[in-house]
Amino acid sequence: MSISLRPVTESEWSGWMTVEEEAFGAAVPPHREKLFRGTTEFDRSLGAFEGDLLVGVTSVDSLTMTVPGGPIPVGGVTAVGVLPSHRRRGILSSLMTRQLADVRERGEAVTALYASEAAIYGRFGYGRAADSMFFTIPTSGTAFVRNAPADPALRLRVVRPDEARSVFEKIFETVRGDRPGLYERTPARWDVVLSDHEADQRGAGPLRAVVVEDDDGPRGYAIFRTKQSFTDHDVPDGEVRLRELYGLDPAAYALLWRHLLDRDLMSHVKASYRPSDDPLIHLLAEPRRLNAGWLDDLWIRLVDVERALAARRYSAPVDVVIEVEDTVCPWNARRWRLSADTSGARCTPTEDPADLTLPVAVLGAAYLGGRPLAAPQAAGVLRESRPGAVRELSTAMSWEPAPWGGLMF
Ligand SMILES: CC(C)(COP(=O)(O)OP(=O)(O)OC[C@H]1O[C@@H](n2cnc3c(N)ncnc32)[C@H](O)[C@@H]1OP(=O)(O)O)[C@@H](O)C(=O)NCCC(=O)NCCS
């Protein structure tokens, strides 16, 4: 039977849930289902149907994401799954191709996603644009460097997460524009951040939070869980599990971390999905105690190269002709002249000879500013025709701080 594609309607929600549960091999508890539904835009969903049976699905969340220079609309690709009975028949490929065409038609130039497996999305033109770190920090021996910032005006306040939501929202809104990858949070997205169902606790207690503030108001917050535990010899062995931590300035940031590392009866702090340039790395006198690992974070796809490259800002003036290879979105596959200076950027089609040639995924990986181009050049996936062109483009596209999505969608 042939497969047809169309948006999934609200009345087909249970079929959608069946696909998700079968594809991911896990039940979706009712509270998670409710949260997921709360962020779902049905008109931006896409189902693959065999007759009436939903066999594959994906959806897009309309995000406003920070890119170098400011926020732009970005399609947040989510909920990708294919029924195990129908895998490896090209269903994901047809969903991805159609979704990218829909996104372009809607006027969004960029899509982003988090990948369950890193091998899936490169073939569709997505590039690994950001990394995140995970830490398991033993609380002993975590002194800060001598010149760690401190502000005597700052104090800590223990708050109930459900009562301090507006404080969190305000602080997050202030920091969101600083880091490429962070995106605006709708109320439904905040419901996800603050979800505190017992099933989310995985052996730890309810969500806890602290706010740091001075006389003028809040300057940062941390949301976390604690898990009480003692060894067989009654030595405290508790765990702090960080959900998120944002500070408006270095002193607020340092105090929040100091608090997490100093809580009584806790032997270690676990923090996942931290930015790859987390300031904590520079605060700890012995950064090896982070026991850090890393993971791919956001993947970025330039759906419309012309508009995407013109939409961001650049760290240095640049004037290069880029030959883009793109079989999935053929409208991108041509030569583009990117010219940028401090007043803005222009990207226009050109017949001039290419200075460099690269797959669209490499451009997507570099888009948020955290992926220098020398490495893909050394790997042979990017070819330079004019000496110096790769360095010129790489320098111009680089940006600080490092990109990071902050919250999986
Ligand atoms: C990942 C998934 C969506 C792929 O769907 P699918 O319909 O089987 O994919 P397709 O048949 O269109 O595959 C297209 C290509 O990608 C490859 N591919 C698909 N899934 C892959 C994976 N997990 N790892 C590596 N390659 C993969 C296929 O081999 C195929 O390659 P080919 O073109 O060289 O033959 C599906 O297996 C699934 O639902 N997995 C579990 C849930 C999940 O991980 N979802 C992604 C969430 S981010």
Binding-site residues from annotation for acetyl-CoA: 80-82, 88-93, 116-117
| Mean pLDDT across 225-245 | 97
Q: Is residue 299 part of a domain?
A: no
In this structure, the answer to whether residues 282 and 315 fall within a common structural domain is no
Residue 91 CB less than 6 A away from ligand 1:
yes
| Mean pLDDT across 318-330 | 98
The secondary structure element, H or E, covering residue 364 is: helix 360-367
How remote is the CA of residue 298 from the centroid of ligand 1, in Å? Answer: 18
| Mean pLDDT across 178-205 | 95
- Mean pLDDT score of the chain: 97
Q: Is residue 403 part of a domain?
A: no
Phi-psi region of 51 (alpha: psi -120 to 50; beta: other; left: phi over 0): left
Residue 92 CB less than 6 A away from ligand 1:
yes
Q: Tell me whether residue 114 is one of the annotated catalytic residues.
A: no
The secondary structure element, H or E, covering residue 225 is: strand 217-227
Mutate to test the pocket of ligand 1, among 120, 124, 128, 298 (most ligand atoms within 8 A of CB): 120
In this structure, the answer to whether residues 98 and 150 fall within a common structural domain is no
Which residue's C-alpha comes closest to atom 37 of ligand 1? 87
367-396 pLDDT per residue, tens: 999 999 999 999 999 999 999 999 999 999
Residue 81 CB less than 6 A away from ligand 1:
yes
Which regions of 276-352 does DSSP assign to beta strands (E)? 293-296, 299-302, 318-325, 335-341, 344-349
265-289 pLDDT per residue, tens: 999 999 999 999 999 999 999 999 9
Cα–Cα distance measured from residue 403 to residue 370, given in angstroms and rounded to the nearest whole number: 6
How remote is the CA of residue 99 from the centroid of ligand 1, in Å? Answer: 16
Q: Is residue 121 part of a domain?
A: no
Q: Is 94 exposed, middle or buried (0-12, 13-18, 19+ CB in 10 A)?
A: middle
Last residue of a domain, one of 108, 140, 160: 108
Cα–Cα distance measured from residue 387 to residue 332, given in angstroms and rounded to the nearest whole number: 24
Beta carbons of 396 and 345 less than 8 angstroms apart: no
Last residue of a domain, one of 294, 320, 355: 294
In this structure, the answer to whether residues 258 and 326 fall within a common structural domain is no
Q: Is residue 123 part of a domain?
A: no
CB-facing half-sphere around the CA of 173: CA atoms within 13 A: 10
| Mean pLDDT across 172-197 | 97
Which ligand 1 atom is the nearest neighbour of the CA of 113?
48
CB atoms within 10 A of CB 362: 25
In this structure, the answer to whether residues 74 and 162 fall within a common structural domain is no
Q: Is residue 354 part of a domain?
A: yes
CB-facing half-sphere around the CA of 179: CA atoms within 13 A: 26
The secondary structure element, H or E, covering residue 383 is: strand 383-384
The secondary structure element, H or E, covering residue 147 is: none
Cα–Cα distance measured from residue 153 to residue 38, given in angstroms and rounded to the nearest whole number: 40
Residue 115 CB less than 6 A away from ligand 1:
yes
Closest of 138, 169, 159 to residue 209, by C-alpha: 159
Which regions of 83-207 does DSSP assign to beta strands (E)? 110-113, 127-128, 131-138, 155-159
Q: At 235, which CATH number?
A: 3.40.630.30
How remote is the CA of residue 119 from the centroid of ligand 1, in Å? Answer: 8
- φ and ψ at residue 397, rounded to 5 degrees: -80, -15
Residue 80 CB less than 6 A away from ligand 1:
yes
Last residue of a domain, one of 269, 294, 319: 294
Mutate to test the pocket of ligand 1, among 3, 88, 94, 96 (most ligand atoms within 8 A of CB): 88
In this structure, the answer to whether residues 136 and 169 fall within a common structural domain is yes
Residue 116 CB less than 6 A away from ligand 1:
yes
In this structure, the answer to whether residues 312 and 352 fall within a common structural domain is yes
pLDDT recorded at residue 405: 98
Mutate to test the pocket of ligand 1, among 59, 60, 80, 92 (most ligand atoms within 8 A of CB): 92
| Mean pLDDT across 88-96 | 98
Which ligand 1 atom is the nearest neighbour of the CA of 115?
48
How remote is the CA of residue 86 from the centroid of ligand 1, in Å? Answer: 11
How remote is the CA of residue 92 from the centroid of ligand 1, in Å? Answer: 6
3-state secondary structure of 19: helix
Residue 93 CB less than 6 A away from ligand 1:
yes
Which regions of 51-154 does DSSP assign to beta strands (E)? 53-67, 70-82, 110-113, 127-128, 131-138
Which residue's C-alpha comes closest to atom 27 of ligand 1? 120
pLDDT recorded at residue 264: 97
Total tally of structural domains belonging to the chain: 3
In this structure, the answer to whether residues 279 and 171 fall within a common structural domain is yes
Q: Is residue 125 part of a domain?
A: no
**pLDDT for residue 343 is more than 90:** no
Q: At 352, which CATH number?
A: 3.30.1050.10
Q: Is residue 402 part of a domain?
A: no
pLDDT recorded at residue 218: 98
Pairing of strands 53-67, 299-302: unpaired
pLDDT tier at 342 (50, 70, 90 boundaries)? confident
In this structure, the answer to whether residues 260 and 186 fall within a common structural domain is yes
In this structure, the answer to whether residues 211 and 70 fall within a common structural domain is no
pLDDT recorded at residue 1: 78
In this structure, the answer to whether residues 194 and 279 fall within a common structural domain is yes
| Mean pLDDT across 28-37 | 96
Which residue's C-alpha comes closest to atom 34 of ligand 1? 123
| Mean pLDDT across 144-156 | 98
Among 49, 114, 121, 126, the one annotated catalytic: 121
Q: Tell me whether residue 409 is one of the annotated catalytic residues.
A: yes
Cα–Cα distance measured from residue 357 to residue 296, given in angstroms and rounded to the nearest whole number: 24
Find the angle CA(207)-CA(212)-CA(213) to the nearest 5 degrees: 135
The parent domain of residue 392 ranges over 305-397
| Locus of tokens 């997505």 | 126
In this structure, the answer to whether residues 208 and 276 fall within a common structural domain is yes
Name the β-bridge partners of 209: 159, 223
Cα–Cα distance measured from residue 23 to residue 351, given in angstroms and rounded to the nearest whole number: 45
Cα–Cα distance measured from residue 77 to residue 5, given in angstroms and rounded to the nearest whole number: 16
Q: Is residue 227 part of a domain?
A: yes
Residue 70 CB less than 6 A away from ligand 1:
no
- Length of the chain, please? 409
43-87 pLDDT per residue, tens: 999 999 999 999 999 999 999 999 999 999 999 999 999 999 999
Residue 54 CB less than 6 A away from ligand 1:
no
pLDDT recorded at residue 181: 98
The secondary structure element, H or E, covering residue 193 is: helix 187-193
Q: Is the dihedral of CA 112, 115, 119, 120 positive or negative?
A: negative
In this structure, the answer to whether residues 282 and 208 fall within a common structural domain is yes
